[in-house]
Amino acid sequence: MPYVIKRYSNRKLYDTQESRYVTLEELEELIRAGKEISVVDVSTGEDLTSVTLAQIILENERSRRAALPTAFLHQLIKHGEAWQEFFQRSLKQSLEGIITSQREADRAFRDWAARSGWASAAPAAEPRNDRRAGGDEADALREEVAGLREQLRALEERLEKKREK
Protein backbone atom coordinates (compact mmCIF):
# COMPACT_ATOMS: atom_id res chain seq x y z
CA MET A 1 0.00 0.00 0.00
CA PRO A 2 1.54 3.30 -1.03
CA TYR A 3 2.22 6.14 1.35
CA VAL A 4 -0.43 8.76 0.60
CA ILE A 5 1.04 12.22 0.44
CA LYS A 6 -1.33 15.17 0.22
CA ARG A 7 -0.16 18.25 -1.61
CA TYR A 8 -1.70 21.54 -0.54
CA SER A 9 -2.12 24.70 -2.61
CA ASN A 10 0.87 26.25 -0.81
CA ARG A 11 2.93 23.32 -2.25
CA LYS A 12 3.43 21.73 1.16
CA LEU A 13 3.49 17.95 1.24
CA TYR A 14 1.73 16.10 4.08
CA ASP A 15 2.43 12.46 4.92
CA THR A 16 -0.93 11.03 6.02
CA GLN A 17 0.59 7.92 7.64
CA GLU A 18 3.11 9.81 9.75
CA SER A 19 0.80 12.84 10.23
CA ARG A 20 3.49 15.37 9.43
CA TYR A 21 4.75 17.62 6.66
CA VAL A 22 7.58 16.22 4.55
CA THR A 23 10.12 17.57 2.10
CA LEU A 24 11.05 16.28 -1.34
CA GLU A 25 14.28 14.97 0.17
CA GLU A 26 12.31 12.95 2.71
CA LEU A 27 10.11 11.55 -0.06
CA GLU A 28 13.26 10.56 -1.93
CA GLU A 29 14.51 8.76 1.19
CA LEU A 30 11.20 6.91 1.50
CA ILE A 31 11.43 5.77 -2.10
CA ARG A 32 15.07 4.69 -1.71
CA ALA A 33 13.97 2.70 1.36
CA GLY A 34 11.56 0.78 -0.86
CA LYS A 35 8.35 2.61 -0.04
CA GLU A 36 5.85 3.43 -2.74
CA ILE A 37 4.31 6.88 -2.58
CA SER A 38 1.18 8.41 -4.05
CA VAL A 39 0.86 12.20 -4.17
CA VAL A 40 -2.64 13.64 -4.40
CA ASP A 41 -3.79 17.26 -4.68
CA VAL A 42 -5.96 17.98 -1.63
CA SER A 43 -8.43 20.29 -3.36
CA THR A 44 -8.92 18.47 -6.70
CA GLY A 45 -7.96 14.88 -5.88
CA GLU A 46 -5.68 14.89 -8.93
CA ASP A 47 -2.82 12.37 -8.91
CA LEU A 48 0.42 14.37 -8.77
CA THR A 49 2.76 11.42 -8.22
CA SER A 50 4.58 11.59 -11.55
CA VAL A 51 4.95 15.36 -11.30
CA THR A 52 6.39 15.06 -7.80
CA LEU A 53 8.79 12.28 -8.81
CA ALA A 54 9.97 14.39 -11.74
CA GLN A 55 10.45 17.28 -9.34
CA ILE A 56 12.65 15.08 -7.13
CA ILE A 57 14.75 14.15 -10.16
CA LEU A 58 15.05 17.80 -11.17
CA GLU A 59 16.09 18.80 -7.65
CA ASN A 60 18.81 16.14 -7.81
CA GLU A 61 19.88 17.56 -11.15
CA ARG A 62 20.04 21.07 -9.69
CA SER A 63 22.28 19.91 -6.85
CA ARG A 64 24.32 17.84 -9.34
CA ARG A 65 23.69 14.57 -7.54
CA ALA A 66 22.46 13.00 -10.77
CA ALA A 67 23.58 14.86 -13.88
CA LEU A 68 21.40 14.06 -16.88
CA PRO A 69 23.05 14.88 -20.22
CA THR A 70 21.63 18.00 -21.82
CA ALA A 71 21.35 16.27 -25.20
CA PHE A 72 19.25 13.55 -23.59
CA LEU A 73 16.91 16.12 -22.02
CA HIS A 74 16.53 17.91 -25.38
CA GLN A 75 15.62 14.61 -27.08
CA LEU A 76 13.23 13.73 -24.30
CA ILE A 77 11.34 16.99 -24.77
CA LYS A 78 11.51 16.86 -28.57
CA HIS A 79 10.21 13.30 -28.91
CA GLY A 80 8.09 13.16 -25.74
CA GLU A 81 5.57 10.37 -26.29
CA ALA A 82 7.86 8.18 -28.39
CA TRP A 83 10.48 8.31 -25.63
CA GLN A 84 7.88 7.50 -23.00
CA GLU A 85 6.80 4.39 -24.89
CA PHE A 86 10.43 3.37 -25.39
CA PHE A 87 11.23 3.81 -21.69
CA GLN A 88 8.15 1.93 -20.59
CA ARG A 89 9.02 -1.02 -22.85
CA SER A 90 12.68 -0.94 -21.81
CA LEU A 91 11.91 -0.74 -18.10
CA LYS A 92 9.38 -3.55 -18.35
CA GLN A 93 11.91 -5.76 -20.15
CA SER A 94 14.60 -4.88 -17.61
CA LEU A 95 12.33 -5.72 -14.69
CA GLU A 96 11.39 -9.05 -16.28
CA GLY A 97 15.10 -9.78 -16.79
CA ILE A 98 15.86 -8.97 -13.18
CA ILE A 99 13.04 -11.22 -11.98
CA THR A 100 14.24 -14.06 -14.22
CA SER A 101 17.84 -13.65 -13.04
CA GLN A 102 16.73 -13.57 -9.41
CA ARG A 103 14.75 -16.79 -9.88
CA GLU A 104 17.72 -18.47 -11.59
CA ALA A 105 20.03 -17.36 -8.77
CA ASP A 106 17.54 -18.69 -6.22
CA ARG A 107 17.38 -22.03 -8.02
CA ALA A 108 21.20 -22.23 -8.22
CA PHE A 109 21.50 -21.33 -4.55
CA ARG A 110 19.00 -24.04 -3.55
CA ASP A 111 20.89 -26.59 -5.67
CA TRP A 112 24.18 -25.58 -4.04
CA ALA A 113 22.60 -25.71 -0.57
CA ALA A 114 21.20 -29.16 -1.28
CA ARG A 115 24.59 -30.46 -2.44
CA SER A 116 26.21 -28.96 0.65
CA GLY A 117 23.74 -30.65 2.96
CA TRP A 118 22.19 -27.36 4.04
CA ALA A 119 18.90 -27.77 2.21
CA SER A 120 17.03 -28.64 5.41
CA ALA A 121 18.04 -25.29 6.98
CA ALA A 122 16.18 -23.18 4.46
CA PRO A 123 12.85 -24.14 2.94
CA ALA A 124 12.81 -23.68 -0.82
CA ALA A 125 10.91 -20.66 -2.02
CA GLU A 126 7.98 -21.48 -4.21
CA PRO A 127 8.51 -20.10 -7.69
CA ARG A 128 5.88 -17.62 -8.73
CA ASN A 129 4.04 -18.42 -11.91
CA ASP A 130 1.30 -15.85 -11.53
CA ARG A 131 1.79 -12.75 -13.64
CA ARG A 132 0.55 -9.69 -11.83
CA ALA A 133 0.31 -6.19 -13.22
CA GLY A 134 2.35 -3.13 -12.26
CA GLY A 135 2.78 -2.62 -8.51
CA ASP A 136 1.64 -6.15 -7.70
CA GLU A 137 4.58 -7.52 -9.69
CA ALA A 138 6.96 -5.27 -7.77
CA ASP A 139 5.36 -6.43 -4.50
CA ALA A 140 5.82 -10.04 -5.58
CA LEU A 141 9.49 -9.35 -6.30
CA ARG A 142 9.91 -7.70 -2.89
CA GLU A 143 8.34 -10.76 -1.26
CA GLU A 144 10.70 -13.07 -3.13
CA VAL A 145 13.72 -11.00 -2.11
CA ALA A 146 12.55 -10.97 1.51
CA GLY A 147 12.20 -14.75 1.37
CA LEU A 148 15.70 -15.11 -0.03
CA ARG A 149 17.09 -12.88 2.68
CA GLU A 150 15.40 -15.03 5.31
CA GLN A 151 16.84 -18.17 3.73
CA LEU A 152 20.29 -16.59 3.71
CA ARG A 153 19.96 -15.63 7.38
CA ALA A 154 18.97 -19.19 8.27
CA LEU A 155 21.95 -20.57 6.36
CA GLU A 156 24.30 -18.10 8.03
CA GLU A 157 22.99 -19.14 11.45
CA ARG A 158 23.48 -22.80 10.60
CA LEU A 159 26.99 -22.13 9.32
CA GLU A 160 27.82 -20.21 12.50
CA LYS A 161 26.58 -23.12 14.63
CA LYS A 162 28.76 -25.53 12.63
CA ARG A 163 31.77 -23.26 13.14
CA GLU A 164 31.17 -23.21 16.89
CA LYS A 165 31.26 -27.03 17.03
H helices of the chain, where?
Answer: 24-32, 49-62, 70-78, 80-116, 135-164
On whether both 109 and 146 belong to a single domain, the answer is yes
Q: Has residue 74 been placed in a domain?
A: no
Cβ 154 vs Cβ 121: under 8 Å: yes
The partner residues of 14 in beta bridges, in order of sequence, read 6, 21
- For 93-152, what is each residue's pLDDT tens digit? 888 899 999 999 989 988 888 888 776 544 544 444 444 455 677 777 788 888 888 787
The number of distinct structural domains making up the chain is 2
Regarding whether 92 and 56 lie in a shared domain, the answer is no
95 located within any domain: yes
Check whether residue 52 and residue 92 sit in a common domain: no
Query: Using CA atoms, how far apart are residues 28 and 139, in angstroms rounded to an integer?
Result: 19
What domain range includes position 122? 85-164
Share of the chain above pLDDT 70, in %: 84
Residue 76 lies in a domain: no
